[in-house]
Amino acid sequence: MNKPAELPMDRAGDPRVNRTVDPILDPAAGHASTALDSGPTPESRPQVGVSRAHESAHLHVSGEAVYIDDIAEAHGTLHAALGLSPIAHGTLVSIDLELLRRQPGVVAVLTAADIPAENNCGPLLHDDPILAEGELRYVGQPVFAVIARDRELARRAAALAKQAIVATPHPAVLTAREAHALGQYVIPPMHLSRGDAASALAAAPHRLEGDWAVGGQEQFYLEGQISYALPQENQALLIHCSTQHPSEMQQLVAHAMGWQAHQVTVQCRRMGGGFGGKESQSALFACVAAIAATQLRRPVKLRVDRDDDFLVTGRRHGFDYRWSVGFDDEGRILAAEIDLISNCGHSADLSAPVMARALCHFDNAYWLPNVAMHGYCAKTNTQSNTAFRGFGGPQGALAIEMIVDGIARRLGVDALTVRQRNFYREGHDLTPYGQQVEDNLLRPLTDRLIETSGYHARRAEITAFNAGSPVLKKGLALTPVKFGISFNVVHLNQAGALVHVYTDGSVLVNHGGTEMGQGLNTKVAQVVAHELGIPAASVRASATDTSKVANTSATAASTGSDLNGKAAQDAARKIKRRLMPLAARLLGCGEDALVFDGGEVRGGGQALGFKELVAKAYLERIQLWSDGFYATPGLHWDRAKLQGKPFYYYAFGAAVAEVLVDTLTGETRVTRADVLHDVGRSLNPALDIGQVEGAFVQGQGWLTSEELVWHPKSGLLLTHAPSTYKIPTANDMPRDFRVALFDAPNAADSIHRSKAVGEPPLLLPFSVLLAIKDAVAACGAERCDPPLRAPATPEAVLDAIEAVSSAT
Ligand code: MTE
Ligand code: HPA
Ligand code: MOS
């Protein structure tokens, strides 16, 4: 029943999808192919740079992949459900525990008073109660947990929250603007500036003011939040948790219990998607299951319903902006001043690093000589917002893309031209936070895309089409992406791995990263197979487990394969180095002459099977397993001044979107999208293209259809189910979708010169929003600048059309 699987993104054979493979990646060219390679591995074949199917693809599609709710339940398992606050703000007076305990099947009811030690599940500041204590902060805040014989009975009892909770209501602050006006923040304001923006603004030939906002976004992982806690002997717990951050779950559970970390083991084989939503916010569920399991000495599972998942957890921060920019006659930006106000919800969670990343991505592709940015993290009585693919980067970069589009419309120049004029270039390549933009691919990559997409010819065709089409309007836009890779908190950029070579020559790799559908395990296994020169089928990746690799970072910031790939390579290299003296002796050659390749070790004109070598090594008592470690070099960051080198390198990309807008209904359709994206030298082109396609459509959903609405008085999130919250479907995919990889090795010494791919392509569909804006502009006077909201739902599109046409 409950077998959510990541949807396979491969639609080869779908006539609507026109996928272009970059000729450079063609096997004939000696590099990678996107054709899936499932046959036996020929000799002398690299294991990286090849398209391999996701290690679990066959399990995802057959329903055999085990998610946490599929793990066979241990005898005596109980089920938890959360009782949620019915009010947005108030003082908790009492909870009618007797009413709840009387309900059928109920074994126990837990409140904050049952938490043995710290009542906190917040990752940075300790401001996130597991269960409400004293204050109620938002509609949906967990106040108590019902533990019952089965899930249905637990949920029925928990649904009595409204009757059981007695509270005194207080006025609630529901919007970021309101909180900002009150100076109510979760952390102090952050400022990042360079030059003298105020004087440069005053002196600029042209000025543009803006006041705009973009909504938040629900992660909508297919597998909801879930934790299953099993008591172990001598005061210990094993927790199966759907989480991107097992080590933090371990720590937070230990803190809540008042235990040492060694008493808690957290495991995660895979998630049915995380998208940032399980970086910190899986903790509440892990803590509740852990506390209940320990108190009752029974296994306890907590799987929340989708509606409760929406009501309890936070999501992408919505941002409000106010900007002033100054520019010259050519559209070159001379000065920019901007306030970025994020809606953080009731607690800090990861809002500080999210805002820091937003400030570090406001520049996107552009040189800003004078700039002053002010980041305000507004505290509101809503869910606590958190990581979501891009982690503030999209919210920062979208603002400058809207600004550049506005400048172009004011000047009556194609926005692409204004973009190109503002690109980072030699001599103008220092970011506002002090990092040099090295190995800048913006120009070559966009030039290639302009050509392959036929941008200029299509621009002319669209202008002609619109002149003769009063109802349907087309729009076109090209947007670039520059995305900084690394956690913007330096110490998080580390990873560990454990590689076991068994005596039959097969290999088990464990690393600190988690698998959420992105293909990390596949890539890490490829790296290990490549290092040992053995077929990928000889390597298996096992579940993430805090008892195997300790003190890991979240699988986040797109760094999973960069960090864990390097750590696993380090472990495999250590094993290889231990095998080399023996191999050289057996083959009668020098160690320098040895080649590990195709399941063999060759040297001195002879060959030895890897299996044979390993079997002999065991008899010689050579250690056949090893740990590995990696820490990204060269990073430094001053958190107070927001200056330094926060990123190891940048990933680049660009997209051209063409849309069709029905001006009578406001409906939009992406008729074609051309994407060229930089993943360095791809470790696995099929997985990377899948990531680019998935991120594109996910970002398109954020900007066109996914709208969050809170009741303006009660503060209830009204859009808490797919009936009202519209994520994109297969039908919303660009009708003609051409995704290609820009094949150039990473100049930084990353794992096999690849680049991170998880988040950067989420910014590519800015082109969709701006193409819609372009189509709407065709309904108004020349040089009009449509006031289009994001998400550009049909209502928003109609409002913008009305605004530009009534102004005509
Ligand atoms: N892809 C799938 N299928 N499922 C996910 O949950 N999360 C994204 C991205 N791609 C995600 C995904 C996010 S938010 C990040 S940070 C990266 O994957 C994390 O994995 P990586 O670092 O291994 O790329
Ligand atoms: N991305 C994701 N998670 C993080 C980051 C980041 O840049 N920094 C700290 N936690
Ligand atoms: Mo991704 S938002 O860094 O989990």
Are 650 and 759 in contact by the 8 Å Cβ rule? The answer is no
> Cα(527) to centroid of ligand 3, in Å?
23
> Cα(308) to centroid of ligand 2, in Å?
25
- Is the CB of residue 244 below 6 angstroms from any atom belonging to ligand 3? yes
> Cα(353) to centroid of ligand 2, in Å?
6
> Cα(155) to centroid of ligand 2, in Å?
34
Give residue 7's pLDDT: 32
Q: Which ligand is nearest to the CA of 757?
A: 1
CA proximity to 355, closest of 331, 375, 381: 375
- Is the CB of residue 246 below 6 angstroms from any atom belonging to ligand 1? no
Are 418 and 386 in contact by the 8 Å Cβ rule? The answer is no
- Is the CB of residue 786 below 6 angstroms from any atom belonging to ligand 1? no
Burial pattern 175-211, b for ≥16 Cβ within 10 A else e, equals bbbebbeeeebbbeebebbbeebeebbeebeeebebe
Q: Which ligand is nearest to the CA of 60?
A: 1
Give the atom of ligand 3 at the shortest distance from the alpha carbon of 389. Answer: 2
Q: Which ligand is nearest to the CA of 560?
A: 1
Pocket test for ligand 2, best of 125, 248, 281, 350 (most atoms within 8 A of CB): 350
- Is the CB of residue 389 below 6 angstroms from any atom belonging to ligand 3? yes
3-state class of 36 per DSSP? Answer: coil
Are 549 and 511 in contact by the 8 Å Cβ rule? The answer is yes
Give the atom of ligand 3 at the shortest distance from the alpha carbon of 274. Answer: 4
> Cα(689) to centroid of ligand 2, in Å?
23
> Cα(121) to centroid of ligand 1, in Å?
23
3-state class of 780 per DSSP? Answer: coil
Ranges of residues in the chain with a pLDDT under 50 are 1-33, 38-43
Give the atom of ligand 3 at the shortest distance from the alpha carbon of 555. Answer: 4
Q: How far apart are CA 399 and CA 391, in angstroms?
A: 15
Give the atom of ligand 3 at the shortest distance from the alpha carbon of 275. Answer: 4
Q: How many Cβ atoms from other residues are within 10 Å of residue 213's Cβ?
A: 16
Q: Which residues line ligand 2 (CB under 6 A)?
A: 279, 350, 353, 357, 387, 391, 487-489, 492, 554, 556-557
Pocket test for ligand 2, best of 282, 485, 489, 648 (most atoms within 8 A of CB): 489
Give the atom of ligand 3 at the shortest distance from the alpha carbon of 759. Answer: 1
Q: Is the pTM of this model over 0.85?
A: yes
> Cα(273) to centroid of ligand 3, in Å?
11
Burial pattern 310-333, b for ≥16 Cβ within 10 A else e, equals bbbbbbbbbbbbbbbbbbeeebbb
- Is the CB of residue 390 below 6 angstroms from any atom belonging to ligand 1? no
Pocket test for ligand 1, best of 268, 282, 516, 698 (most atoms within 8 A of CB): 516
> Cα(800) to centroid of ligand 3, in Å?
32
**Distance between start and end Cα atoms, the chain:** 56
Are 545 and 486 in contact by the 8 Å Cβ rule? The answer is no
Give residue 35's pLDDT: 57
Q: How many Cβ atoms from other residues are within 10 Å of residue 438's Cβ?
A: 11
In sequence order, the 6+-apart residues with CB closer than 8 A to the CB of 482 are 363, 364, 365, 424, 437, 442, 650, 651, 652
Give the closest residue (by CA) to ligand 1 atom 10: 758
To the query of whether residue 759 is one of the catalytic residues in this protein, the response is yes
Are 499 and 628 in contact by the 8 Å Cβ rule? The answer is yes
Label residue 334 exposed, middle or buried (CB < 10 Å: 0-12, 13-18, 19+): buried
Show the tokens assigned to 108: 């126990």
Q: How far apart are CA 436 and CA 438, in angstroms?
A: 6
CA proximity to 544, closest of 575, 567, 577: 567
Q: Which ligand is nearest to the CA of 274?
A: 1
Q: How many Cβ atoms from other residues are within 10 Å of residue 112's Cβ?
A: 17
Q: How many Cβ atoms from other residues are within 10 Å of residue 404's Cβ?
A: 26
Show the tokens assigned to 247: 């080590």
Give residue 34's pLDDT: 55
Residue type, 778: A
Residue type, 407: I
- Is the CB of residue 652 below 6 angstroms from any atom belonging to ligand 3? no
CA proximity to 496, closest of 578, 570, 574: 570
Q: How many Cβ atoms from other residues are within 10 Å of residue 348's Cβ?
A: 21
Q: Which ligand is nearest to the CA of 396?
A: 2
Q: How far apart are CA 380 and CA 89, in angstroms?
A: 10
Give residue 739's pLDDT: 98
Q: How far apart are CA 320 and CA 374, in angstroms?
A: 12
* Residues of the chain by 3-state class (helix, strand, coil), percent to 5: 30, 25, 40
Using CA atoms, how far residue 169 sits from 83, 97, 112, 196, in Å, is 17, 20, 20, 46
Strands 472-485 and 649-662: antiparallel
- Is the CB of residue 388 below 6 angstroms from any atom belonging to ligand 3? yes
Give the atom of ligand 1 at the shortest distance from the alpha carbon of 558. Answer: 22
Among candidate residues 248, 279, 658, 759, the one labeled active-site is: 759
Burial pattern 519-540, b for ≥16 Cβ within 10 A else e, equals bbbbbbbbbbbbbbbbbbebbb
R_g of the chain, CA atoms, integer Å: 27
3-state class of 745 per DSSP? Answer: coil
